[in-house]
């Protein structure tokens, strides 16, 4: 039985900030996943599924809304433990998602205690199941992607803060882009295998870029200078707690790896600022300049200068090699 192909991430029209956020958390899962906000029909699930293919065939697992805690974490057979002297573990959703993507649609409608468990495991990379003094531990390293429509209910602030990055799908594509979206969707629906084959070169380029960034990541320092800049901006934004500082620093490092750099720069800090702060900053007066964002003219050369709130623009340019960059679109055009 063959797997049903997913719509290629590289074939999605626009939504470049969200595609960037997804790739960054795939490069460094310790960022803590991505929470996607937006109304229905904004391709949130399509983008999430497309990421699984970029992760070189990792599993894509969906957590159903009605799932129980046992279905999420797995179960221990105590009778087998007593009779055989060892616990017999039946894996849950967390075990099945190891090495891939765990997708939670309408996470704001999920029971709070399940969201707590989910975020704990996503942060630690390990799931521990305990029952009557018997425990089982297994790896559960996955990219966590949650989606929500704010019109259907908010997520508790304590849980909202624990998602690493937050992207809002706001604004509408222009008529020409809408037409191209529909054409590509029709092409995929009529011949999924043929459409995916057409986009395979672009998909492979995206896979290679993410893999190279993951390999480069450990060599990029989480340096004190970058931390000082981020700490000042978090303080100015009035965020509660310190999670924003850590997430922002990790995301900036992942962005540096994504663009082929050997160290974090202001360009990287600026590029991921809105992802890290959007769901954490205190409310500001309408149209007031955000304290974490410099004016466009003061940004580093090469910075995208976008807020990262779901606008339809281009990502930073694809580097040729370390220290050598040329201006080409990051996301492939139609083959």
**Catalytic center residues:** 243
CA 191 to chain centroid: 28
Are the C-beta atoms of 71 and 112 separated by less than 8 Å? no
Considering only CA atoms, which of 209, 224, 161, 222 is closest in space to residue 321?
209
For residue 68, the tally of other CB atoms under 10 A from its CB is 12
CA 324 – CA 63 distance, rounded (Å): 42
Name the DSSP letter for residue 201.
H
CA 89 – CA 175 distance, rounded (Å): 53
Are the C-beta atoms of 74 and 136 separated by less than 8 Å? yes
Residues in CB range of 130: below 8 A, 6 or more apart: 76
Q: Is 107 left (phi over 0), alpha (psi -120 to 50) or beta?
A: alpha
What residue ranges in 178-230 does DSSP mark as E strands? none
Read out DSSP for 60-122? EEE--TT--HHHHH-EEEHHHHHHHSSPEEE--HHHHTTTSEEEETTGGGS-HHHHHHHHHHH
CA 291 – CA 278 distance, rounded (Å): 12
For residue 156, the tally of other CB atoms under 10 A from its CB is 12
Counts for the chain of helices (H) and strands (E), in that order: 12, 11
């Amino acid at each position: 039985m063959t797997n049903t192909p997913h719509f290629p991430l590289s074939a999605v029209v626009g939504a470049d900030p969200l595609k960037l956020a997804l790739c960054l958390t795939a490069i460094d899962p310790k960022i803590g996943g991505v929470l996607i906000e937006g109304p229905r029909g904004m391709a949130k699930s399509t983008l999430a599924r497309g990421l699984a293919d970029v992760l070189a065939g990792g599993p894509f697992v969906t957590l159903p809304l009605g799932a129980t805690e046992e279905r999420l974490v797995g179960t221990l057979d105590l009778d087998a433990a007593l009779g055989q002297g060892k616990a017999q573990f039946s894996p849950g959703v967390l075990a099945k998602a190891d090495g891939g993507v765990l997708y939670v649609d309408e996470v704001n409608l999920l029971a709070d205690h399940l969201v707590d468990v989910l975020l704990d495991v996503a942060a630690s990379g390990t799931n521990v199941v305990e029952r009557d003094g018997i425990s089982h531990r297994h790896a559960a390293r996955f990219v966590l992607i949650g989606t929500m429509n704010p019109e259907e209910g908010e997520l508790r602030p304590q849980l909202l803060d624990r998602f690493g990055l937050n992207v809002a799908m706001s604004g509408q594509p222009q008529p020409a882009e809408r037409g191209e979206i529909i054409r590509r969707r029709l092409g995929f629906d009529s011949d999924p295998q043929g459409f995916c084959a057409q986009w395979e070169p672009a998909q492979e380029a995206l896979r290679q870029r993410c893999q190279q960034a993951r390999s480069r990541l450990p060599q990029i320092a989480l340096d004190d200078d970058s931390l000082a800049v981020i700490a000042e901006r978090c303080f100015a934004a009035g965020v509660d707690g310190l999670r924003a500082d850590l997430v922002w620093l990790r995301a900036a490092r992942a962005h540096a790896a994504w663009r082929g750099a050997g160290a974090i720069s202001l360009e990287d800090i600026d590029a991921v600022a809105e992802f890290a702060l959007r769901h954490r900053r205190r409310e500001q007066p309408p149209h007031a300049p955000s304290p974490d964002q410099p004016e466009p003219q003061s940004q580093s050369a090469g910075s995208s200068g976008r807020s990262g709130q779901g606008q339809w623009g281009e990502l930073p340019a694809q580097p040729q090699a370390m220290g050598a960059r040329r201006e080409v679109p990051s996301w492939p055009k139609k083959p």
